[in-house]
Amino acid sequence: MSDVTEFLTETPSAFRDENAESLREHAARALGRARERSTALTGAVDDEDLVRQHSKLMSPLVWDLAHIGSQEELWLVRDVGGREPLRPDIDDLYDAFQHPRADRPALPLLGPAEARRYVGEVRAKAFEVLEKAPLTGRRLTEAGFAFGMITQHEQQHDETMLATHQLRQGEPVLHAPAAPGRRTGPLPAEVLVPGGPFLMGTSVEPWALDNERPAHEVDVEAFFLDTTPVTNGQYAEFFDSGGYDQRQWWSDAGWEYRTTHDITAPRFWYRQQDGWWRRRFGVHERVPAEQPVVHVSFHEAEAYAAWAGKRLPTEREWEKAARFDPATGRSRRYPWGDEDPGPEHANLGQAHLSPAAVGAYPAGASPLGVHQLIGDVWEWTSSDFSGYPGFAAFPYREYSEVFFGPEYKVLRGGSFGTDTAAVRGTFRNWDYPIRRQIFSGFRCARDARGV
């Protein structure tokens, strides 16, 4: 072990002071919050809407709902609780690996009333299990991991359901206060992230998933990172200068995608005589210039970066900018420190139904002065999704390992639709580079050799 490694440390476990009772309360609150959100997202539309497929990219909302219950039954009721199955007959219907999203509407799915009853019964049993389960002695239940995993799973499906709402046609059915405006003066365009090693990933965060583990030392060369995500106003300049029609900014795969799918602007944008407009959860509005661009594919992000004379950051660069504290050498849980996200730190949890203006969260900036790394938009990185050195699949290969490979790109930081339970400085999301129904944006980086 090098001297450097001894210098590099990680914040100790977030739950280090929690006893079993407070852990149970913490898990119960997290599960309850997730269920409130699932209930709101599925209660906002009528039954006909719940069973409809709003896009081939998405499941009917009623599939997501029963799938949430099915996973909870498998892990919390049957595995942790050792209880009898409630509905073994529907396991296959809600196994995401058995049925691609496009095929799900044709399955004999539980109807809305049945699905609601099912998830309610499962939850009642899961709470019984939570009251008694030993939270030590077995890795699956250590520090309440299984309950955390199921909470994150439900919150991730809630974000997917929010993306389905965005694809849905019709009048607005979701409501939230407008996202905040800028709360800083002008910010520098870029921040210099110093070269050198830092500790990436985590070995101590109790509810971190297998792909975030273990903590490992990574050397990163000095680089410049955009202080904020790329805004709609900046992105429109790329469009206005003809970027979508100029082959030189696009990779081969990106150009192929751009031309065969007739990609001409971010998804949900449309041109009016007075400029760009967008449809956002049923509301038609002018595209706000100061908000981060959202609903762009990896290919569009990469083309913009090339046009700007920059590139996308690698995943390790992103994480160093988000976690490394140069004063102590320590990797933080979040850019602002170790405390869980609050409304002053980041635009998370569907508190607002759009990204917030750049400069809206000065309290959430990293020690180096990088803003809005957490929340607002998922940020595309240039990295393929892969396992860290020492990776071990847990609790099952299908959680992450089967997705490792060059066909998926990593996204970081969470969006306005990501709950606080389902994002942290180490959290990794992945998707195909053509996807843009997700709440995806980006920021740019560039080399700083010789600085």
Question: Which residues are annotated binding-site positions?
Answer: 67, 101-104, 153, 157, 431, 435
> Which residues define the annotated binding site for Fe cation?
67, 153, 157
SS3 445: strand
Do residues 389 and 449 touch, judged by C-beta distance below 8 A? no
Please name the residue that has the structure tokens 């053509």. 434
Under 8 Å CB-to-CB from 278, ≥6 apart: which residues? 266, 268, 269, 270, 284, 285, 286, 287
**Residue entry with tokens 């990896």:** 298
Q: Which of 182, 162, 184 is nearest to 173 (CA)?
A: 162
Tell me which residue has tokens 């957490």.
Answer: 374
CA-to-CA distance for 142 and 113, rounded, in angstroms? 35
Asked whether the beta carbons of 367 and 327 are under 8 A apart, the reply is yes
Helix (H) or strand (E) holding 163: helix 145-167
- Find residue 428's DSSP bridge partners: 412
């509905």: which residue's tokens? 87
**Across the strands, what pairs with 367?**
none
Distance CA 372, CA 335 (A): 9
d(CA 156, CA 152): 6
Listed in sequence order, the residues at least 6 apart from 138 whose beta carbon sits closer than 8 Å to its beta carbon are: none
- Which residues sit in the known binding site for gamma-L-glutamyl-L-cysteine? 101-104, 431, 435
Q: Mapping DSSP to helix (H, G, I), strand (E, B) and coil, where does residue 190 land?
A: strand
DSSP secondary structure string, 25-52?
Answer: HHHHHHHHHHHHHHHHHHHSS-HHHHHS
Distance CA 245, CA 250 (A): 10
- In the DSSP assignment, the letter for residue 403 is G
- Residues whose CB falls within 8 Å of the CB of residue 220, separated by 6 or more in sequence, listed in order: 193, 195, 196, 197, 198, 316, 317, 320
Consecutive H or E run containing 319 = helix 315-323
Pairing of strands 216-220, 9-10: unpaired
